[in-house]
Structure 1
Amino acid sequence: MGYKKVEQYDEESTSLLTENYKRTLALLGENPQREGLLKTPERMAKAIQYLTQGYSMNAEHILNSAKFHEPISEMIIVKDIEIYSMCEHHMLPFFGKAHVAYIPNGWITGLSKIARVVDVYARRLQVQERLTTQILDAIKTALQPLGVAVVIEASHLCMMMRGVQKQNSVTTTSAFFGEFEKNETRSEFIRLIGSTLH
């Protein structure tokens, strides 16, 4: 049997985006009919839909889909979650890691759900500052925890490939709620995400 790749995309959006990308290539001075570019507009149309699929996802539904009652109130950290997002100003990627913690108040969620929430908001046109607070707000709303902390470290191609062209720059953003607004708790979180325990 031959190989068949199965993908699902909105047909109307794919068609309209494909036509737009054909025009874009032509405006850049390229020939969209050139052999190497024949399928490029459709690939771009599908890629951008994949990279922005977060618009069709709901972070609270994800967290609530694996919500369990547990009488614990110790810090839970999921660190080094890879993020890939698109800067909304230049539509160039930024990428890095997110570190997320919360202190339960009677409810926990599946660990993979924390990583999925990061993707819900990363897979949109974004700014890192908003991405950080959106992750915090989703966990805060769904789980009603005693505290939430989010730190994101990312490199932005809009700074690396164009503009100031600073290839080694890293942007760090943070957001804290509840118990993490206390110096002692926040310091413990910062220490743990910076250490190598595994």
Structure 2
Amino acid sequence: MDHAHNNGFNRQNRQNGHDEQLVNFEVLAKKVDYPRLLELGRELLIAIGEDPDREGLLETPRRWADSWREFIEYDPGKTETCFDSMAVDQMVCVSGLRVSSLCEHHMLPFWCDVAIGYIADNKILGLSKFARIAHQFAHRLQLQERLGQQIADEITRITGTENVAVVLKGEHLCMTSRGIRTPGKMTSSVMRGVFRSESETRMEFLRLIE
């Protein structure tokens, strides 16, 4: 059960469904063409009526290319560390994770506060790995709804549990700096397993991450 809403948890049909093939991160990183980025940075300045040779803009194409390379080639490090545990049927929650990404529709930044929960089944994911997983999928052209789905998929893949919940509260520059130019936050959620089928479990998770 995946949700997207501005106020409350209203059901919405998923776009680019849960079963879509995930972007291969290693292949994505290899596609960065840094010299071409430098050229495009200069061309972009010219296209918007600027002089790339004036003082203040001489290093802008390089800085712009560097920021793209850093964004795309981000290395999350090891994300698959799990520990054997006696914990069975215990809810594990991590909240307050802050990630930044780029909207694939406008290539403008958005920021999300991420909360993740799962029901432990003899395996506990290392605490730092939650942030690494969230950042791994944020460092690409992205949609907030799909980001939540991919985080949930990865938690399931690593821990083996289908009982996973992810909530994201995002602020999108494409809404605040263009179009209606109105500040606001979008909340989306992914609820699977008992988080979907059992309202008490779902409500407990939502209370814990408040």
Q: Same fold (TM over 0.5)?
A: yes
8 Å CA contact 1:105, 1:146 repeated in 2 = no
- CA–CA separation in structure 2 for the residues paired with 1:92 and 1:132: 18
Aligned counterpart, 2:33: 13
Aligned counterpart, 2:67: 47
1:118 aligns to 2:134 (yes or no): yes
2:50 to 12, 17, 30: 30
1:179 aligns to 2:194 (yes or no): yes
- CA–CA separation in structure 2 for the residues paired with 1:50 and 1:146: 33
Amino acid at match of 2:190: A
Q: Provide the aligned length of Structure 1 versus Structure 2.
A: 179
**Greater share of residues in strand:** 2
- CA–CA separation in structure 1 for the residues paired with 2:170 and 2:71: 17
- CA–CA separation in structure 1 for the residues paired with 2:95 and 2:121: 20
Point out where structure 1 has 5 or more consecutive residues left out of the alignment: 1-8
- CA–CA separation in structure 1 for the residues paired with 2:161 and 2:85: 12
State the SS of the aligned residue for 1:33. Answer: coil
Aligned counterpart, 2:167: 151
- CA–CA separation in structure 2 for the residues paired with 1:193 and 1:141: 23
Amino acid at match of 1:152: L
Aligned counterpart, 1:88: 104
Cα drift, residue 146 of structure 1:
5.1
Note closer, same or farther for the CA distance 1:124–1:132 as it changes in structure 2 (3 Å cut).
same
**Greater share of residues in helix:** 1
Point out where structure 2 has 5 or more consecutive residues left out of the alignment: 1-28
1:170 aligns to 2:185 (yes or no): yes
- What is the TM-score normalised by the length of structure 2? 0.80
- CA–CA separation in structure 2 for the residues paired with 1:62 and 1:103: 22
Percent identity over the alignment is 39
Amino acid at match of 1:165: R
Amino acid at match of 2:47: L
